[in-house]
Every structure is written in structure tokens, then in C-alpha cells.
Structure 1
Amino acid sequence: MPEGGDRKRIDAYPRLFADMARELFAQGSTEELLQRIAQMAVEAIDGCEEAGIILVDRRKREFQAPAATCEMVRESDRAQMECNEGPCLDAARHEQSFRVDDMADESRWPCYRPRAVDLGIGAMLGFDLYTYEDHLGALDLYARTPGVFDDDAREVGWVFASHAALAIAGSQREATLREGYTTRQEIGEAVGIIMERRRLTDEQAFEVLKTYSMNANTKLREVARRITRTGEIPDV
């Protein structure tokens, strides 16, 4: 049976995660959401002093580190990317969680490990961020003292990461839809300007836009944005 203090803490978890879910889905931009996730991880998970997020851009085959609670985490992310190895990259690449009880005793990551020790990293705990539709990256927790992450922290972190992944996926979908709507609107406005200035049909005006985009090797939305902002129509 759990001790009194442990029982009280366990009973508080449902409220914690319910409040967390509401707060995360209320964030504005994806950037704000990611930073708040890192901050809340420090607040919610025992032993966690700092936190960061690494995301996977599969189209560009690269990693991004958009959120960190301190410079130590940013330096850790930079070291892993420069070494092309490390616990956070492993979690993001291989869709797995990890636990490092004492970084000084680690035999993995021969390039990253000494740099992590120099940064003052004692222990780490990380979770892959995924939904049923996609693998997003990893949530990484840091402590300066070795051995502070117990099984309870791992269990709470896993549930926390699950909520965080859903919030991130929802925010990214919303951003994609918003960008698509804005792009269509800008293209429509640019086509309208070309139609009026050159007395063309909408199909002819769109062809002008598309031809310039190809000739200039510039994305269609960028050409449209330039026309709507300046009113200048390029020659094709």
C-alpha cells in the first residue's frame, strides 16, 4: 500500500493532468505551447530541474530544438546535434523513452557524454512524443544531481508526454490549416490585382502568377504576397 504522502500525491495526478490538458490546449502559437510544455514538465515531475523539446522534421531530415527552460538545455541540444548522438536524438529517432541515472557513468554517446558532464548534467529522463498518426520528437528532462528520477517520475512523465504530444499535434494541424487559408487568400488577391491591371480572365491571371513563380524559382505564395503588398506585377 502507498504511504500517506505517496497516496496524496497519486490522488492529485488526475487533477494535475486535467488542468494541464486545459492549459496546453489554450496556448496561442505552437512556439508558446512548446515552451509552456517544457516549463510545466519542471513543475509537474519530481526531480526535474530543467526540460527541453526536440522535434523531427522528416521532410528536411533534421532536428529542431524549439523549446528549452535554460541555457544548459540549449547547450545540451547543440552538443547532441554537433555530435550526431545523444539520448534526446535516440528518443526522437527511434521512438523510444530513455533514462540516464548518472551521466558520468554512462558508456553510451562517447562524443556527447563528456560535454554533458561539463555542462553539469547529472541525470536525464526522456520520452518520445507521438500520436497514432505521427511521431513528433522527444520531451527531455534534466537534473543536475544523479539518481533523482525514480519509477514514479518515469510514470508521470510518460502520461505528461502523452498529453503534450496530443496538444502539439493539434497545434501543428491548426497552424497548417491557418497557413493554407492565408495562402489561398493571398493568391486570390494577387490574381484579382493581375486581372484588373492587365484585363485578363482569372485563369489567365493565375497563369501569369504561376509562370513568374517558375521562372523566378520562387514559391507561388511568396510571389502572391509580394504582389499584394507592393501592387507591382512582374513581367513574364
Structure 2
Amino acid sequence: MDDPKFETAPWAQLQDLLVDHEDVQEFLQELARLTASSLSARATTYCGITLQRSRDHQFTVASSDDEALQMDEIQYAFGDGPCLHAIRIQDEVHVGNSAADPRWPEYMAHIRDYGIRSMYSVPLKLEGHAKAAMNLYAKDPDVFDEEFRRVARTYGAEASQALLLAVRVARHAATVEDLQSVLTSRTDIDLAVGIIMGQNRCTQQEAFDTLRRASNGRNLKVRVLAAEMVSRLNGEPATTHFTAG
């Protein structure tokens, strides 16, 4: 562990990942690759990252390479193993040698067939119901000694902060997109109601009732029918002057 690059988790690189990759899945892929390269000073290390955004949400899997992807997929197929256990108990799980570890015997047998001997899973601290873990694999036994685990824990803490920000950004982006969709739909409906009021010389409520009856008659949602009306009259879809920023 004499490599100074290994001793210092590359927080600046983690920040660069956040700037360059707005999509969480893409961010996780790059984070897994960066983790594997940063923690391979002693031996080649493969990295998988598992993210569960909520209790009912399926796992999001990212990996530094095919080896890590295979190891994680085997674990998900068995429904248990170091990574999933680390997520459940929110604590690190270390396997010094898969040939001698008695835990998860069927899973360990499959892992050994792929030549994996050392495993180390570190939970990444998030917020709410979101949970994640960084899963490290190596082909030699006893690769992840105490010094390695100390450095990996420090790296994991910094990666947790980066991932937390990425999840927040993704959540905010989804909220903004949903709000913009609501505003656009509302604009279409208001314009359609205005069109009907002008054509029929009726009140706003009467125009909305007319629009609703027409939507029921054509088995279309009100917002879809309204958008059709506005686009037909305007020659293009309506735009909203509201912003969700």
C-alpha cells in the first residue's frame, strides 16, 4: 500500500464524474471503473456497485468489467451473498478466501468456479430507503487485508457522498420533468378551453364540460384531446411560458 495514489481517494475525479454523467446508471458504471482502477495497486481488483433506491425498487447494477458483472449476477440469482448481506446489515462483509469461508456455501462454490477467492463489500451510506454497496473481487486469496480495507472504507465514504449527490440530482431532474409535463398539459387544456369559449361564446365552465364530454366520446384523455385541438389550430404543439427551475 505504498502507492500514494491509493492512499488518497480521488475526490476530484468523483466530482468530475458527477459533472460529466447526469444519468445515475451511467454515473455508477464510471464509478465502478474508477474504483477498480484506484484500488488495484496491490492486485487486480474488480468492482461491482449495487444500488437499491427503495424497498420495492429492483437493484441497479454497475460493474467495472465482465468479471464483476458475472459475480454480482450470480449473487442476485442466489438472492444472498456478501454484497446483499452488506446492504441488509449496512456493514462491511469480508471474505478472505472463498475456498475456506463457510458462509453461503452454494454461492461460494459458484464463485470458486470462476476463480474468485477474495471478496469485500462496503455499504455506501445514502439517505431514506436508498441503499447501495461497493463490491470488490480478486482472484488471489487474502488480497483485502486490514490495510486495504482501511483504504477501501475511506474511498467508500467519499464514493457515498458522490453517489448521494447523483441520486439527488436524478430525483430533482425527474421532479422537474414531471412538473414541466404538468405545466404543459395545463397550458394545452387552458388554451383548448379558450378556443371553445371563443367558438361557442360560452363560459369557461361550459367550455371545459364540452371538452370533457368530447374526450369521453373519443375515449381520449382531456389533455390529449386538448393538445390535438391546440396543435391543429396553432399548426404546432403549444409551448408553456412557465419554467420548473
- 1:64 aligned partner, one-letter code: T
Q: Which residue of 2 aligns with 1:53?
A: 49
- Counterparts of 1:59 and 1:133, CA distance in 2: 10
Q: Kindly tell me: are residues 145 and 173 of structure 1, through their superposed partners in 2, closer, same or farther at Cα, counting changes over 3 Å?
A: same
**1:1-236 alignment runs, 5 A limit:** 6=2, 9=3, 13-14=7-8, 16-29=9-22, 30-45=24-39, 46-60=42-56, 62-65=58-61, 67-131=62-126, 136-199=131-194, 227=224, 231-232=227-228
Contact 2:127 2:164 survives alignment (8 Å): no
1:146-200 deviation digits (Å, cap 9, x = unpaired): 1112222101100111111111111111111111111111111112112222438
Secondary structure of 1:148's aligned partner:
coil
The 8 Å contact of residues 86 and 112 in structure 1, kept in 2 or not, is answered as: yes
> Aligned in 2, Cα 1:83/1:133: closer, same or farther, shift over 3 Å?
closer
Across the aligned residues of Structure 1 and Structure 2, the Cα RMSD in angstroms comes to 3.2
Task: Give unmatched runs, 5+ long, in structure 2.
Answer: 197-203, 230-245
Distance 2:5 2:60 in 1: 36
- The Cα shift of 1:231 comes to 3.5
CA contact (8 A) 2:47 2:68 kept: yes
CA contact (8 A) 2:91 2:123 kept: yes
Return closer, same or farther for 1:159/1:104 CA change in 2, 3 Å cut-off: same
Q: 1:192 to 1:155 in 2, by over 3 A?
A: same
Q: 1:11 to 1:31 in 2, by over 3 A?
A: closer
Q: Deviations over 1:77-116 (max 9, x none)?
A: 2221221110010011110111111111121002211111
Q: 1:128-155 CA distances to partner (integer Å, 9 max, x unpaired)?
A: 0004666521001110111112222101
1:87 alignment partner AA: P
* Higher mean displacement: 27-36 or 98-107: 27-36
Shift of 1:27: 3.2
The one-letter code matched in structure 2 to 1:137 is A
CA distance in 2, matches of 1:80, 1:97: 16
| Alpha-carbon distance in 1 for matches of 2:154, 2:69 | 24
TM-score normalised to the size of structure 1?
Answer: 0.76
Which of these two proteins has the greater Rg computed from alpha carbons? 2
CA contact (8 A) 2:99 2:108 kept: yes
Q: TM-score, normalised by structure 2?
A: 0.73
Distance 1:178 1:159 in 2: 29
The more displaced of 159-168 and 133-142 is 133-142
Structure 1 unaligned segments of length 5 or more: list them: none
**What is the distance in 2 between the residues matched to 1:86 and 1:40?**
24
2:143 partner SS: coil
